[in-house]
Structure 1
Amino acid sequence: MFGRKKRDTTETAEAEARSSALDAEADEDLGADGADDSVDVADGTADPDSGPWSIEDREGEREEIAQGRLDLGSVLLPLPAGGQLQVEMTQQGTPQAVHIVTQHGRITVAAFAAPKSPGQWREVATELADTLRRDNASVSVESGPFGREVVGLTAGGELRFIGVDGYRWMIRGVATGPAGSVGADSPLVQQARAVVAGTIVDRGSDPHPVRTPLPVTLPQALAQQLAAAQQQQAAQQAAAQQAAAQQAAQQQAGQQQAGSPHPAPEPGEDPSAGGTRRGPSGSAMQQLG
């Protein structure tokens, strides 16, 4: 969904039509009395006075700016009380996303490269709504503090997408939880909006294609904890595999022992008689001697 796209005239027209339809849907969902004159539903542009902010707009050294926030390189996130971190890794072992798990649900905030002019969230919101509908989700568009928010209700849970356009970056926040957890006034959504509002984006000067996720880096302490947890998990898996292999070997040995035939009697030996086996040339020990 977030790959770079080449569009011809027809695709552009279709995208504009979908966006117009989404605007109409938003107006219908909000209603004449529900609209907030201070919020542009189709915009969602960052307010430099209220956040989220570019790091260049903040004063002080990075350590001072990051105080009270989780520094993930491209984004500096405030953590809600009681929130726990869940790191999603790529197959290459690099962090792909960091989720904040709360008692109400999960919050994920990521930053993407964007053009200088705002408007990327508008396109992304349209595509998110289309994708959710193709997945048979119930979709609605609501107005939030930053503009439009896309809400998807599925059988497996509910999602609310919150987007904000900045200068050459775009933030996408996602609140995910069980049924009834992503209402506009729910604790999960209030927490998600607060995290988005308090986020600081470090776009950097490196060139990134539009819609490319900005890289995530973990703080050293968190990276060490994650590495230790991965090592412990790998050791536990290796021990479990070794124990399973030993158990299988023991079972196989027991089956072989139970199924082995009794040795045949020596020639001339009475199977019913006890004592040393004897043949025509004497006992077995005498034959060996």
Structure 2
Amino acid sequence: MVVKFRRKSAPSHRGEASAPVEDASVEGAPAASTRAEPAAPPVGPFDIASAPDGLITDDWVDLGSMMLAPAPGKELRLQVDEKSGQIAAVMLTADDGAMELRAFAAPRNGDLWNESLPMLRDDVQQRGGATADLEGPWGTELITQMKVKLDDGQPAVQQTRIIGVNGPRWMLRATLLGRPAMEPSAGKEWEGLLEQVVVNRGEEARPKGEALEVKLPPNARRVEK
């Protein structure tokens, strides 16, 4: 299922320095108090309860447990599990790559991402792949490489970059594929999209690690394979 984005998302400010404030003191006059530099805009992913005022607008996509800002040039694809009929993953896709998003229930003040890392490493290695840790904007990330066959039968190596973000009683996992997973410059745009994700966990008691339900937005359309 696919949702088309049409409007431009707000620019990312993570990592940008604030403009310096000029000294307004006059020679011979008492020194003026130093003005504080303006605080950098907050970046996410955000919890629904602490998202900045005015961040979410009418053109955002509401998926129940996640809300996404418009992303021009990207398609939002919802992968449905054929057996259960439930949405298994959310994918933002473009010509150069994709980002998969999954949200999970977590304990209050827990660190589900670092608990999950050993299991993710083991799973990849047991399937013949290689893993490496990388320190990124949100802490430790996981780089994986798996041997695959291309459509023409030629062997290749598929690399992914997996990012985990701990929130209040939730954990958001983002998996980058394609150029965004291999080239830091290509990954910056996708990091900006991740910064604007808003997670709505709900108040229900949930087992640790349970996937948060993704709901189909009203403007989705089914795409046949």
Normalized against structure 2, the TM-score is what? Answer: 0.70
Paired with 1:175 and 1:78, the residues of 2 have a C-alpha distance of 18
Give CA deviations for 1:236-277 in whole Å, capped at 9, x if unaligned.
Answer: xxxxxxxxxxxxxxxxxxxxxxxxxxxxxxxxxxxxxxxxxx
Find the counterpart in structure 1 of residue 15 from structure 2.
Answer: none
Cα shift at 1:56: 0.6
| Equivalent in the alignment of 1:158 | 159
Higher relative contact order (CA 8 A, sep 6+): 2
The residue number in structure 2 matching 1:104 is 96
1:100 CA drift (Å): 1.0
Partner of 1:275: none
CA change 1:193–1:54 in 2 (3 A) is: same
Q: Is the 8 A contact 1:89 1:96 kept in 2?
A: yes
- Return the offset for 1:88: 1.0
Residue 56 of structure 2 contacts residue 69 of structure 2 at CA under 8 Å; is this kept in 1? no
Whether the 8 Å CA contact 1:139–1:152 is kept in 2: the answer is yes
Q: State the shift of 1:59 in Å.
A: 5.4
One-letter code of the match for 2:116?
V
Q: Which whole-Å CA distance do the structure 2 matches of 1:181 and 1:114 have between them?
A: 27
Q: Report the equivalent of 1:185.
A: 184
SS at match of 2:182: coil
Unaligned runs of 5+ in 2: 1-40, 149-157
| Distance in 1 of aligned mates of 2:47 and 2:171 | 11
**How far 1:159 moved relative to its partner?**
0.8
Q: Kindly indicate whether residue 65 of structure 2 is the aligned counterpart of residue 74 of structure 1.
A: yes
Whether the 8 Å contact between 1:113 and 1:169 is mirrored in structure 2 is yes
Matches of 2:98 and 2:84, distance apart in 1: 24
Comparing both structures, which one devotes a greater share of its residues to strand?
Answer: 2
Match of 1:271 in 2: none
Question: Aligned residue for 1:211?
Answer: 209
- Aligned match for 1:86, one of 77, 81, 85: 77
Which position in structure 1 is the counterpart of 2:47? 54
Question: What 5-or-longer segments of structure 1 have no aligned partner?
Answer: 1-47, 234-289
Q: Which moved more, 1:166-175 or 1:97-106?
A: 97-106
Give the share of equivalent positions with the same residue, in percent.
27
**1:136 corresponds to 2:128:** yes
Amino acid at match of 2:47: S
Query: Could you say what secondary structure the match of 2:115 adopts?
Result: helix
Hey, what does 2:193 align to over in structure 1?
A: 195
Residues 79 and 100, structure 1, Cα contact 8 Å, conserved in 2: no
Q: Deviations over 1:89-119 (max 9, x none)?
A: 1223332222111111121111100001131
Q: Which amino acid counterpart does residue 192 of structure 1 have in structure 2? A: W
1: distance between equivalents of 2:106 and 2:71? 27
In the TM superposition, what is the alpha-carbon distance from 1:184 to its structure 2 partner?
Answer: 5.2
Question: What displacement does 1:161 show?
Answer: 0.4
* C-alpha contact (below 8 Å) 1:175/1:182 kept by paired residues: yes
| Higher helix proportion | 1
- Look up the SS of the partner of 1:139 in the other structure: strand
- Name the count of aligned residue pairs: 175
Q: Is the 8 A contact 2:180 2:190 kept in 1?
A: no
Equivalent-residue separation in structure 2 for 1:184 and 1:140 (angstroms): 15
- Bigger Rg, structure 1 or 2: 1
Secondary structure class of the residue paired with 1:221? coil
The equivalent residue for 2:119 is: 127
Give the partner amino acid of 2:215. Answer: T
Task: Return structure 1 stretches of 4+ with deviation > 4 angstroms.
Answer: none
Aligned CA RMSD, in angstroms, stands at 2.2
Supply the AA of the counterpart residue of 1:83: K
Q: Judging changes above 3 Å, is the alpha-carbon distance between structure 1 residues 129 and 66 closer, same or farther for their aligned structure 2 residues?
A: farther
- The whole-number CA distance in structure 1 between the counterparts of 2:96 and 2:166 is 27
Q: Secondary structure at the match of 1:196?
A: helix
